Homo-oligomer: A and B are copies of this chain.
Amino acid sequence: MQIDNKHYHTIWHNSENDTVTVIDQRILPFRFETIELNTIEDAWHAIADMIVRGAPLIGVTAAYGLWLGIKNESVVTSELLKAKGDYLKSSRPTAVNLAIAVDQVIDAIGADYANAAEIALKEAYVVKQNEIDFCDAIGEHGVKLIEAISEKKKGETVNILTHCNAGWLACVDWGTATAPIYKAQLKGIDIHVWVDETRPRNQGAKLTAYELGEQGVSHTIIPDNTGGHLMQHGMVDLVIVGSDRTTRQGDVANKIGTYLKALAASDNNVPFYVALPSTTFDFNLKDGVKEIPIEQRDGAEVFAMEGVLNNEVVTTRIMPENSPVANYGFDVTPARLVAGLITERGVCEANETAITQMFNDKI
């Protein structure tokens, strides 16, 4: 997608000097900078320090990281690959994509150690291209929903609400929840996006608004408290969010606060869709509210706020010093509130029968 009118992916291989470049997402939207990864250690730190974030992008970074780790080795062995892979997996142990991507590269190498580096680079590109293809397909399926609403509204603006950042910055290109939006823009559909700020880390205000703005998509940042009011007054036609984990019955774990928007959507007959690659399904789980563990994160994300003061990025304390804070990272939206799951294979109803039918081969 676009930044400053130039086309970017979130990560790319530089064939000239055989390095990998990523966008430094820690300082967005305040500054746009890229960082060159020259070693496996650079890749490890890019993931651990959240220079890159978003499960798909972490996976691709790890895949390229493995290549960086072996490209200058004179002898590659199975043990070396395992050690390098384990090292990369330790950068953020909770992200499943990371381990899958690393293993995919190691599997591709197989026993062809002589050509390991060349194969690794090619496979990293496959991992990257797969992520793009998934998002592209999600966009193609999802845009039909937006088109249908646009037709029903006789071309009047379609208002879409989204929460957090399930955008291309979390992936490689297109994004998940944003893919149908970008596709709608390409088709010339009149759209406007309500962007939930997404406290406490403000990924909506910082990343989604930034990428929509760079892409020229009409949007408005709103406090997370606002969506219900907008829906009561017919100002939202469609909600699309991403997912961190989806159960076999269609319960959706996503950024904290998603459930509140799903309730408001349900109360006001606004269709609530979740865009996700099928890799997000956890077919072992059924009842998401009961079974999905919810991460509690550092309180500093709540009481400290990053912002710009005199062109410098500073962190301020925004609440009383002695008040405790709680910081739950995700919540679970029960399937009964979900109109459908926009996947790379098509839009799937959020229930066990539909999900297990569409993804039968993956279970």
The residue among A227, A228, A303 with the most chain B CB atoms within 10 A of its own CB is: A228
Q: A304: which B residues are within 8 A, CB to CB? A: 307
Pick out which of these stretches binds chain B: A52-60, A83-91, A125-133, A259-267: A259-267
CA A320 – CA B267 in complex, angstroms? 32
Instruction: Establish whether residues B289 and A323, one from each chain, have CB atoms under 8 Å apart when the complex forms.
Output: no
CA A281 – CA B224 in complex, angstroms? 27
Instruction: Establish whether residues A326 and B202, one from each chain, have CB atoms under 8 Å apart when the complex forms.
Output: no
Instruction: Establish whether residues B257 and A264, one from each chain, have CB atoms under 8 Å apart when the complex forms.
Output: no
Instruction: Establish whether residues A306 and B294, one from each chain, have CB atoms under 8 Å apart when the complex forms.
Output: no
Instruction: Tell me which of B257, B294, B314, B323 contacts A224 (CB under 8 A).
Output: B257
In the assembly, how many copies of this chain are there?
A: 2
Closest B residue to A218 by beta carbon equals: B324
CA A308 – CA B307 in complex, angstroms? 12
Q: A315: which B residues are within 8 A, CB to CB? A: 309
Q: Is A322 an interface residue (CB 8 A)?
A: yes
Instruction: Establish whether residues A205 and B260, one from each chain, have CB atoms under 8 Å apart when the complex forms.
Output: no
Instruction: Establish whether residues A195 and B318, one from each chain, have CB atoms under 8 Å apart when the complex forms.
Output: no
Give 1 or 0 for each of A211-226: 1 = CB within 8 Å of chain B CB.
0110000011111111
Of residues 106 to 125 in A, which have CB atoms within 8 Å of B's CB atoms?
A: none
Known contacts A267-B263, A328-B229, A331-B228; A319 and B206 CB within 8 A of each other: yes
Q: Is A144 an interface residue (CB 8 A)?
A: no
Give 1 or 0 for each of A243-282: 1 = CB within 8 Å of chain B CB.
0000000000001110111011001000000000000000
Known contacts A205-B323, A221-B324; A318 and B306 CB within 8 A of each other: yes
Instruction: Establish whether residues A331 and B232, one from each chain, have CB atoms under 8 Å apart when the complex forms.
Output: yes
Closest B residue to A199 by beta carbon equals: B223
Instruction: Establish whether residues A232 and B259, one from each chain, have CB atoms under 8 Å apart when the complex forms.
Output: yes
Of residues 173 to 207 in A, which have CB atoms within 8 Å of B's CB atoms?
A: 194-195, 197-200, 202, 205-206
Show 22 residue pairs from A and B whose CB-CB distance is below 8 angstroms, ordered by the A residue: A197-B199, A199-B223, A202-B319, A205-B318, A205-B320, A205-B323, A206-B318, A220-B324, A222-B325, A222-B326, A222-B327, A223-B256, A224-B225, A224-B257, A225-B256, A225-B260, A227-B260, A232-B332, A304-B307, A309-B309, A314-B314, A314-B316
